Every structure is written in structure tokens, then in C-alpha cells.
Chain A
Amino acid sequence: MSENQTKNNFQKNDYKYGFVTDIEVDELPKGLSEEIVREIWKRKAEPDFMLEQRLKAFRHWQTLTEPTWANVNYPKIDYQDIRYFSAPKKKENSPKTLSDIDPELLKTFERLGIPLSEQKRISGVAMDVVFDSVSVGTTFKEDLEKVGVIFCSISEALQKYPDLVKKYFGKVVPFTDNFFAALNAAVFTDGSFVYIPKGVRCPMDLSTYFRINNKETGQFERTLIIAEEGSYVNYLEGCTAPQYDSNQLHAAVVELVALENAEIKYSTVQNWYSGDKDGKGGVYNFVTKRGLCEGRHSKISWTQVEAGSAITWKYPSCILKGDNSIGAFYSVALTNGKMQADTGTKMIHIGKNTKSTIVSKGISADHSSNVYRGLVKIMPSAENARNYSQCDSMLVEDNCSAHTVPYIEVHNNSAVLEHEASTTKISADQLFYLQSRGMDQEKAISLLVNGFCKDVFKELPLEFSVEAVKLIEMKLENSIG
């Protein structure tokens, strides 16, 4: 810890979340086997059907090989060298209130700028915190329970509401979906569960904070959000990790289900450690996120600010099954140093009059590589489907790269699709122009980046968008000029 802190003092603008929390952990040995899968299930005290699910997923995973189609390069991952379960040691049972949480842990969250205290009431955000593999505390449970909203860790949900979880778990992202989804289904340890009952507008924003602490632990969280008919929820997630020189694997699965007239807004600010300037260390962020617009007139929107991770590989997607349903994807992906990002979305139009919007803003700096990869698929049943896609790239300096790979599949002639793409470069001339009007470099960059990302930032809740702007500015400061 002290070593990391010293490093931080010397390198201004370095990753400020790079500290490690000294905390007693309960962990399983490294490696992956049926034994480990059973052991995870046992420790989580899950219902029987989950063991079956996990084992099926594990056996399926063993038959798969890691995909290589993404435009990312990394050394082969040794899945036997990863620890699949690590949890802060519990004093007795699980923490019932916040005061039961290890004070070290609370201090960690304060350093991260997210006091798990009543302060959050002011900003009106209920928060769940996942530390390594285990959810350590959810705030405002009572307030939410009053209106029937369930917001808890998925482990708790499996114990308390097994039928509800069983009904939807793996329905949007089945374990057969892909390599990492199978791995996640076998070994996931925690994540958030949200249930919004019929006709309820969730009275506050819900938020989950993910933190990887342990060096050799993979984080495999699993999030499931269900919005019943006519309900609404705004969900936010943030992620950080300590600074290690080895790579950590993060393979999450997020499933969203929106029923008739329901709306889910899902926002992410991802700032996992991205490795040092030589590309050493950093998190591999291989995530499957998908939303199902099951009911008519349902709406799902993904907003993401991807600013961390050594490698990001994710495509938050929408399956527009219900007639008149609407999907949206707003993304800012920033890469600098030696970071690699291959991210985008899939919009699958099945229902009639379905609409989707894609706004992707990629910013690449230094020696990084930034790829937008997206699929818009119009199925034969999707009469009058509409899609609007806008993919803009911004290059900072000359050694980085930006690629846009849009796939379009149309099986219905009534569809109308629009695609716009642009590439711009932050130029020394622009910086000089703004500086000659009295703005220092930092302010000038912030204006330029904000201007570029405006269409996405405006989709974020105010608090988050302020954080996102700061994050992007901080990351770019060393790359420009």
C-alpha cells in the first residue's frame, strides 16, 4: 500500500484510485474446477437450481475457446491462475446495517469519494457496493421497500426471491451466449438485483459501486434489473480498482428486462485501472450487457463513459421485441496510454415500429486503439423500424488509432436507417484559439472534449456527468500538448 502511495505522490495525475485496502479476506484457492463452482455455490448459500445452472454453464464453458475476433491484443489468460472467490471476512453473518461493515472498508469508500452514509440521501441516490466479489452494503433499503422496489445484492435476491430471479436469470444473456457469459454464469459471486413493481416510478436513482481489491481475483458480477409494466428506473454504476502490475479479469453480465411501457436507464462510468504508460497491468474488462424490451412501448437506454481498463470489450445491446419499443446507446470511450477498446452496441429490431438510436464518441490519445463495433439488425417481423447511428472519433496526437465497424443487416424493406460518422482531431490551432481567448490549457481541453461528448453527457444524471467530465479531463491532461 505504501509503495503505491509513494508512486502516486511522484506521478501527478496518476490513477488516484490505485490504493489497496488492507482487509481480512475469506477466499478460495486459485483455479477453476467443478469443485470451485460447487464451493462458490455453497458459500453463497444459494438455492439448488443455481448449482445446476452453474455446473451446466461451467461444463459448457469447458467446451468453448476464447474468442479472438475483437481488435484487441493481450497475452493468453491462464484461467487456472485466477482466484474466483474473495470476500471481506464477515464478522458474524452478513452485515445488517452499515455500522456492521469493516471500518477499513468504509474508509476505502470514503477515499473513493462515495461515503456510504446518509449523505447520499441529499443526492437522492441509493447505493449498493460490491467489493471484490461480495456486496457489502446497500443504502436506503427501507425507503425503497415502502414503494415495493427491491434493490439488493443478487446473492440476497437468490435467497429471498428465488422464484423471481429464476424467472429472468439467464433469459436475456444465456450462458450459451459467449465464452465470458458462460464463465460468468459458472462463477459469478455477486452483483445487484433490482425489481421495480408495476406502475412504480423508482423514487430515487439506484447506484452500484464496484471495486476490485484483491490482486489475483477476477470480478464476475451479475446484475439483473426487472422493470414491470409501466415502471421506471434510473440505474448508475461506477467502477475502480487498485493499481497492480499484473492484469485482473473482470467479466460481468448485466441483464435488463423492460415490460410493457416500462423504462430502464442504465448509466456506467467505468474507470478500472488501465495499466501504466508502458501497458503493464490494468483490468481486462470483458463484459456482456444486454437489455430486452419485452413489452410494447418499453424503453431501454445504455449510457456509458468508458475511461479505464487496459482492454475494454463490451457491447451493451437492446433486443427490441415489443412493438413500438425503443433502444438507445450513448457512449463515450476514451483510450490513452496503451489502452485498447473494442466497444459498441447491438440493436436487434424484432417488433413493429421499433426505434433505436446510437451515439458513439470515441476519443483516442497516445498509443491507444479505439474501435466502435456495432450491429443494427432488422428482423423480417420489424415493420417500420428506424435506426439512427452517429459514430464520431476524436484523435489526440498521431500515434493512436480509431476504427468504426458498423454492421447492418436489414430483412424488412420498410426499415429506415441513417448512419453518420466523422473523425476529428484536437488540433494545436484549436487549443491556441481558445487560449488566446484567456482559457488555460486545461480549460481549453475541457471545452473541446465536453463539446465533442455533449450529446452523450447530457444523457447522464447531473452528478455523474460532472464526474465523467472530470475523469475525461484528467485522463487527457497528460496526452495533449
Chain B
Amino acid sequence: MLEIKNLKAQIEDNQILKGLNLKVKQGEVHAIMGPNGSGKSTLAKVISGHPDYQVTEGEVHFEVNMKQKNLLEMEPYERAREGVFLAMQYPIEVPGVSNFTLLYTAFNEICKHQGVEEMSESDFRKFVEKKCQIVGMNPSFLDRSVNEGFSGGEKKKNEILQLLVLNPRVALLDETDSGLDIDALRVVSEGVNKYKNSHNAVVLITHYQRLLDYIEPDFVHVLYKGKIIKSGDKTLALRLEKEGYDWLIKDIQ
């Protein structure tokens, strides 16, 4: 579904991704771990097309309905319409634009692109209110400005609400667990578990095992200095939790 080959990317003149390979099939959950500054967030941003990063080499293929698309040639909004979703580490505040407006506009843009019938505003509201329940958000949140004055936890829940409503083909979650208390972590994880099915895929970027207690990964990768240096199953994350990254880093040095 998502295939990344030899991806190299930089911000300004700073090379961050240095030949990264990753293959994600539908129905899979991948966890990406690694020390600070190894390029995890960059990877998520490059896949979704953040304009600050330049890709200098490599390919990112995305398979939609048996067709291969080269994501790197597409604008961020085109990627989103094809079904790439990034839950941001620091969700942006958008004063004056209500959550409902954002969701409804985005939803209809995506429907239009995918040839699905758009929903009426009242049907959509009912649909969204149900999704609100999953992440424990009061529907009155829908009429507030996007992320404005939200607590850290509310912002993250809001990202998961968007995930549930927009139902993308692949979800990239960039440290969605950071800054969450234990209850919020559980709610957010449940949201992700409700989303995932055998047709989509999840890429989790995280520092901590505790998220993986709730969302069980099929694969765990360790990213270090812009490359994946180790891949394994969920036991790899458990070992990292216990021993840190030193043993891996020593290995490659």
C-alpha cells in the first residue's frame, strides 16, 4: 500500500532522511521509534508533503485501488484526497474556523475526489456527533475554532476525531501519545483501534511502549540518523523500553 524506497530529504541544507526504506501493507500497524532527532517527524511530514522539506532522492509509492501513485509528485491536498492522513504532533490552531467547518469542507473535498456522494450538512452533523462520542468529545466542540484554546489532550483527541471522520487509507500518527494523561491515552488509542481495519494501515511514531500496549503493532522499526537500522515485531519495542537504544547504536558503529 505504501512503499518508501531510498528516501532522502532535507530541510534547508540539513540532510535528515538518508536513504530510508519502508513497506506498509494494508491491515498492518507499523511503529516507528528512535531517539530524538533521528528523523521520525520528518518522515511523516515528507510523506504528507510539508513544503519545508525537500526530497533529494528516493520514491514514495502509494497504491490506491490497484493503481500506483507517486506521492512525491503530488500536492499535499492531493495526497490527502487519495487517503494519506497525518495526525500532527503539534496540531495547528485555526482561529475563526470551526471544527465543524473544517471537517465538513475536508470531508466533501475528499468525497468529491473519490467520486463518492457528498453528505448533507445535517446528515454530516449526526455522523460527526457519533464519532465525537468515540473520542469522548462533547459535540459543542464542533462549533469552536479549530484547536484554539484547546488543551494538549483536546488537540490530540481532535486529530483522532478528524481521522475517524475522514477515514483515510493510511494514517500517520506523529507522537499522538505525547502530552496525554493516562485516560486520554486510552481514549485516543481506542479511537485508533476503531479506525483500523483490514483495508487501511497505521504508522505510529512514538517514543513509548505504553501506546503500543493499547495499539498492538505488527512491526516495530528503529529510525536512527535518517535510516531504519532495525526492524522487528512488537517484542522489539519491549526491549527498547527496557534497554534503550544504546545497544542498537553501538551495533552499527
Contacts and interface: CB of A to CB of B under 8 A. Distances in A.
Contact of B109 (A432, A439, A448, A453): A439
Interface residues of A, number: 24
Contact of B106 (A439, A448, A450): A439
B94 A428 contact: no
B91 A433 contact: yes
B75 interface: yes
A432 B105 contact: no
Contacts of B49: 435-436
Given A428-B51, A443-B109, A435 B97 contact: no
Interface in B183-228: none
B33 interface: no
A427 B51 CA distance: 12
Interface string B140-165: 00000100000000000000001000
Contact of B166 (A437, A441, A443, A454): A437
B186 to A, nearest CB: 25
Nearest to A452: B96
B106 A438 contact: yes
B77 A447 contact: no
A453 to B, nearest CB: 8
A451 B92 contact: no
A451 B106 contact: no
B86 A436 contact: yes
Given A430-B94, A443-B109, A447-B97, A435 B88 contact: no
A374 B49 CA distance: 43
B105 A451 contact: no
Contacts of A424: 95
B182 interface: no
Interface string B78-122: 011100011010011011110001100110011001000000000
Contacts of A430: 92, 94
Contacts of A447: 94, 97, 101-102, 105
A143 B80 CA distance: 53
Contacts of A453: 96
A435 B52 CA distance: 14
A331 to B, nearest CB: 16
Contacts of A428: 51-52
A447 B145 CA distance: 12
A163 interface: no
A104 to B, nearest CB: 41
Contacts of A443: 105, 109
A438 B97 contact: no
A434 B94 CA distance: 9
The residue in B49, B97, B166 that gathers the most chain A C-beta atoms within 10 A of its C-beta is B97
A432 B51 contact: yes
Nearest to B92: A433
Contact of B96 (A441, A444, A454): A454
Contacts of A451: 94-97, 101, 145
A440 interface: yes
Interface in A409-464: 424, 427-430, 432-441, 443-444, 447-448, 450-454
A424 B96 CA distance: 12
Contacts of A433: 88, 91-92, 94
Given A430-B94, A448-B97, A454-B96, A437 B162 contact: yes
Interface string B25-61: 0000000000000000000000011111000000000
A438 B77 contact: yes
Contacts of A435: 49, 75-77, 80
Contact of B113 (A438, A444, A448, A454): A438
B75 A438 contact: no
Interface in A80-135: none
B102 A434 contact: yes
A418 B102 CA distance: 31
A448 B94 contact: yes
A369 to B, nearest CB: 23
Contacts of A440: 75, 77, 109
Contact of A429 (B77, B79, B92, B102): B92
A436 B96 contact: no
Nearest to A455: B96
Contacts of A448: 94, 96-97
A430 B88 CA distance: 12
A453 B96 CA distance: 8
A450 B96 CA distance: 8
Contacts of A454: 96
Contact of A437 (B50, B96, B106, B145): B106
A433 B174 CA distance: 14
A452 B97 CA distance: 8
B229 to A, nearest CB: 28
B50 A438 contact: no
B95 A452 contact: yes
A432 B92 CA distance: 9
A378 to B, nearest CB: 31
Contact of A438 (B51, B81, B92, B94): B81
A432 B86 CA distance: 11
A421 to B, nearest CB: 14
A155 B49 CA distance: 60
A436 B109 contact: no
Interface of A: 424, 427-430, 432-441, 443-444, 447-448, 450-454
Which 8 pairs between the two chains have the least Cβ-Cβ distance?
A451-B96, A451-B97, A437-B106, A438-B80, A433-B92, A435-B76, A438-B109, A435-B77
11 contacts: A428-B52, A429-B92, A432-B50, A432-B51, A432-B92, A435-B80, A436-B48, A438-B81, A438-B113, A439-B109, A443-B105
Given A428-B52, A430-B92, 13 more contacts: A432-B50, A432-B76, A433-B92, A436-B76, A437-B166, A438-B106, A438-B113, A438-B166, A439-B105, A447-B94, A447-B102, A450-B96, A451-B101
